[in-house]
């Protein structure tokens, strides 16, 4: 009896890793090139207005400030943004070289762990919002809210899942490799 | 769950890697089973019993705490 795993072949994991490595390399090269003015920054910018509501001495002040924000960091960041989720998906959804039942169990544990973390994080976000609105300024609240929202999203989910799974697998393999 | 995997392996002079190759799992999985850190599935237990030519009961036995 053979259990069917709905996972890609191991070679896709290698392909995913190569894509991710290229993305990281591209980030470093572009960052260095921009830092040392090797390539001109030809980022297109978009102008939009940010509406801020502030309370000063009992008066409500509404300000509309124009902001020049870069649309992106050029073709490199567009490629990284496109290929990072693809590489994460390939690595997360492909099986190990020898995918046995112990590895499947580690995979399940990693998935359960990340789902629990996400539920706790979402609850924290939901519960902290009214509390923060009451005690902190809108700007600080915005910053805190932004920090709380960072780990959400499919790419981050796959990234954390991969991190937990690979670390657990590495830790367990190291513990079990001593004996012969 | 107690197991006599190490004893049976010693009896037929088989390494963990040999057993792993014959049952289609990693060597670390065999170590985990021998140390009682991982309980194999029925299929894997049957495969192991077949490799050693014994019954499952001869390889694995339930403890009172199970």
Compute and round to an integer the Cα radius of gyration of chain B. Answer: 11
Q: Chain A contacts of B28, Cβ < 8 Å?
A: 102, 172-173, 176-177
CA distance B12 to B10: 6
Instruction: Among B15, B38, B43, select the one facing A102 at the smallest CB separation.
Output: B38
User: What is the domain partition of chain A in residue ranges?
Assistant: 99-180
Q: Chain B contacts of A172, Cβ < 8 Å?
A: 28, 32
Residue-wise pLDDT tens for chain A (180 aa)? 556 668 889 999 999 999 999 988 888 887 777 666 665 555 555 555 566 666 666 677 666 665 554 444 567 777 778 888 899 999 999 999 888 899 999 999 999 999 998 888 888 877 777 766 666 666 766 666 666 665 567 888 899 999 999 999 999 988 887 665
Looking at residue B66, what is its pLDDT?
73
Tally of domains in chain B:
1
> Which pair of structure tokens corresponds to residue B59?
């390889």
Does residue B35 lie in a domain region?
Answer: yes
Give yes or no for residue B58 having a pLDDT over 60: yes
Closest chain A residue to B36, measured at CA: A176
> Which pair of structure tokens corresponds to residue A43?
């980022």
Structural domain boundaries enclosing B25: 2-61
Does residue B21 lie in a domain region?
Answer: yes
CA distance A91 to A86: 9
Cβ <8 Å between B32 and A177 = no
ipTM: 0.86
Looking at residue A67, what is its pLDDT?
55
Cβ <8 Å between A100 and B31 = no
CATH number of the domain bearing residue B13: 1.10.260.40
Helix (H) or strand (E) holding B61: strand B60-61
Does residue B66 lie in a domain region?
Answer: no
Number of neighbours of residue A70 by Cβ within 10 angstroms: 12
Does residue B40 lie in a domain region?
Answer: yes
> From start to end of A24-123, where are the E strands?
45-56, 59-70
Cβ burial, residue A174 (10 Å; 0-12/13-18/19+): exposed
Closest chain A residue to B24, measured at CA: A100
């Amino acid at each position: 009896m053979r259990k069917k795993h709905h996972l890609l072949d191991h070679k896709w994991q290698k392909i995913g890793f190569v894509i991710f490595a290229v993305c990281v390399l591209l980030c470093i090269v572009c960052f260095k090139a921009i830092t040392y003015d090797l390539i001109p920054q030809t980022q297109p910018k978009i102008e939009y207005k940010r509406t801020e509501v502030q309370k000063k001495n009992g008066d409500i002040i509404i300000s509309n400030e124009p902001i020049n924000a870069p649309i992106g960091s050029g073709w490199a960041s567009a490629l990284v943004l496109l290929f990072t989720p693809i590489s994460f998906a390939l690595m997360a959804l492909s099986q190990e070289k020898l995918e046995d039942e112990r590895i499947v169990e580690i995979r399940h544990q990693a998935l359960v762990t990340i789902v629990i973390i996400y539920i706790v994080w979402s609850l924290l976000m939901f519960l902290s919002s009214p509390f923060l609105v009451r005690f902190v300024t809108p700007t600080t609240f915005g910053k805190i809210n932004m920090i709380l929202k960072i780990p959400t999203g499919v790419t981050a989910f796959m990234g954390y899942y991969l991190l937990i799974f690979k670390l657990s697998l590495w830790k367990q393999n190291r513990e079990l490799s001593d004996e012969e | 769950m107690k197991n006599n995997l190490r004893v049976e392996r010693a009896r037929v002079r088989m390494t963990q890697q040999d057993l792993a190759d014959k049952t289609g799992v990693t060597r670390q999985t065999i170590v985990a089973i021998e140390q009682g850190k991982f309980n194999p599935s029925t299929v894997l237990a049957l495969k192991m019993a077949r490799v050693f030519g014994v019954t499952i009961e001869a390889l694995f036995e339930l403890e009172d705490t199970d």
